[in-house]
Structure 1
Amino acid sequence: MSARAMARLFAGKGLTPREMVALAGAHTVGFSHCAEFAHRIYGYRGAAGYDPRLNPEFARALQRSCAGYRTDPTVSIFNDIVTPRDFDEAYYKNLPRGLGLLASDAALWEYPPTRVFAERYAGNRTAFFEDFAAAMQRLGAVGVKTGRQGVVRRRCDALD
């Protein structure tokens, strides 16, 4: 999905492009299964065979690491290969270097209305933290059912 399409999707939920980019910063932690991005590293149209938005060394390393993903669907890669266990702004610093794992990550850098926020967060950890917290609060209110429309659960994973 393009960043423009993602922005429209988020707008439909009442969220701004700024909030969308801040929320994408959650990719600074966690991992993605190779199947989620295999289309970027195998059989990609073009001479190299991988998405040209990827750093070539990174793309080749992904190809090696994900080689067995079809037989072992649990094979995964950290979303942020620089500081995978830290919640920080490194995710945004990775984008212009071609180190965004998912196509949606690369799309944020390519689209000027979202790139401006990615650049801001790459250079300002405090701005990222503040905007992420505010965006998470707003996201938490999306689709909340009230009155007789919803159910208050004692356990999140079960209807009582």
Structure 2
Amino acid sequence: MGHRCHDEKPSFNLRKLIQLFFFLMLSPLALCQLSYKFYDYTCPNLTRIVRYGVMSALANDSRMAASLLRLHFHDCFVNGCDASVLLDDTSSMEGEKGAAPNRNSVRGFEVIDAIKASLEKACPYTVSCADIISLASRDAVYLAGGPCWSVPLGRRDGLTANKDGANDDIPSPFESLQNITAKFTAKGLDIKDVVVLSGGHSIGFAQCFTFKQRLFDFGGSGIADPALDTSLLQSLQKTCPDQDDSDTTLAPLDPVTTNKFDNVYYKNLVSGTGLLQSDQDLMGDNQTAAMVVTYSKYPLLFFRDFGASMVKMSNIGALTGKDGQIRRNCRVVNN
């Protein structure tokens, strides 16, 4: 890779720890907002531990880069970035894992569990699961060849999940650009964030059922989407034959550079070879189409803006200060 991601923190000494203690005692509001240096003293090896965990996961499964990025997205759009997506069902609460956008689809829970276990050994009861997701998604993108950005930290974990919120608030590949944009703006994001964060589809796969209607019965017409590239159409019809048992078969979101995070996703949209209808629709609006064309030409601009939009997204509804908690196990609320 032509760049490096520097955010490892120096080891602390006793004097610094004492200074931190008095600083916190004298500044009760110090922990009530996110900070790039939040764990500098309390868990100085945090970023090394997270990156090693992500590297290990990607060595076993290259798809995990996209899965960790998606996990962060699906978490932040429901209750804010509070790690609610990680919570298992209980007798009194239905978790978000069983919601339609997540069921048999969202992955990476074991990766977060492993990183959390390592952090509990290094700095017990210190790092939130929400911060782990934020860092892991950044490292996943970087290790897949994408940009690196500094992640503000200090999130705390939520106390409950919101299955209905997951069903209602997470954008769907079946929705119109207008509806997707509305869901983004409801979270404090804007149309530029829609285009930029859609670039996360540079990596990863989609199940056939999410785009099969484009192959055989576009808009109930009984024919394929006429805007779909002919060679791509033929290839996808072989991958996803018009039978129910192919619904969960996977196809790459970017068949050109499938496991590399780059701007080819935008080049695909310009050439009419976007996989999901919701992606290709970005070319049907003058404002979003202009941004797509720009990012297709200027990869470094896309990288810069992607990092900025990820930081913006990671701030949605973040719990800080005394709100929420630091879960010891990311799957359950502390007793």
User: What residue in structure 2 maps to residue 14 of structure 1?
Assistant: 188
Matching of residues 85-96 of structure 1 within 5 Å:
85-96=259-270
Distance in 2, Cα, partners of 1:144 & 1:123 = 34
User: How far apart, in 2, do the equivalents of 1:63 and 1:156 lie?
Assistant: 40
Contact 1:54 1:98 in 2 (8 A): yes
Inter-partner Cα distance in structure 1 for 2:247 and 2:329: 30
Percent identical among aligned pairs is 33
In structure 1, stretches of 5+ residues that fail to align are none
What residue in structure 2 maps to residue 61 of structure 1? 235
Other structure's SS at 2:265 match: helix
Indicate the residue corresponding to 2:299 in structure 1.
125
Q: 1:69 to 1:131 in 2, by over 3 A?
A: farther
* Higher RCO (C-alpha 8 Å, min separation 6): 1
Once the two structures are TM-superposed, the CA of residue 111 in structure 1 deviates from its matched residue by: 0.9
| TM-score (ref. length: structure 2) | 0.45
Distance 1:129 1:148 in 2: 34
Change in 2 beyond 3 A, CA 1:148/1:52 = farther
SS at match of 2:201: helix
Q: 1:138 aligns with which of 312, 316, 322?
A: 312
Q: C-alpha root-mean-square deviation of aligned residues, in Å? A: 1.9
- Equivalent residue letter for 2:326: V
Q: Alpha-carbon deviation of 1:149?
A: 4.9
2: CA distance, partners of 1:139 / 1:58: 32
Contact 1:34–1:69 (CA under 8 A) maintained in structure 2: no
Q: Please, which moves more after superposition, 63-72 or 30-39?
A: 63-72
CA contact (8 A) 1:69 1:75 kept: no
Is the Cα contact below 8 Å between 1:40 and 1:50 reproduced in 2?
yes
For structure 2, the residue ranges without an aligned partner over 5 or more in a row are 1-174
Normalised by the length of structure 1, the TM-score is 0.89
Cα drift, residue 2 of structure 1: 2.2
Alignment partner, residue 212 of structure 2: 38
**CA displacement at 1:112 relative to structure 2:** 1.2
C-alpha separation between the residues in 1 aligned to 2:226 and 2:246? 26
**1:66-105 equivalent positions in 2, closer than 5 A:** 66-67=240-241, 70-105=244-279
SS of the residue aligned with 1:77? strand
Shift of 1:130: 0.5
1:17-61 Cα distance to aligned partner (Å, 9 max, x none): 1111110000000000001111111222447x1112211221121
State whether structure 2 residue 190 is matched by structure 1 residue 25: no
Count of aligned positions: 159
Distance 1:40 1:72 in 2: 15
1:69 Cα offset (Å): 5.8
Structure whose CA Rg is larger:
2
CA contact (8 A) 2:195 2:292 kept: yes
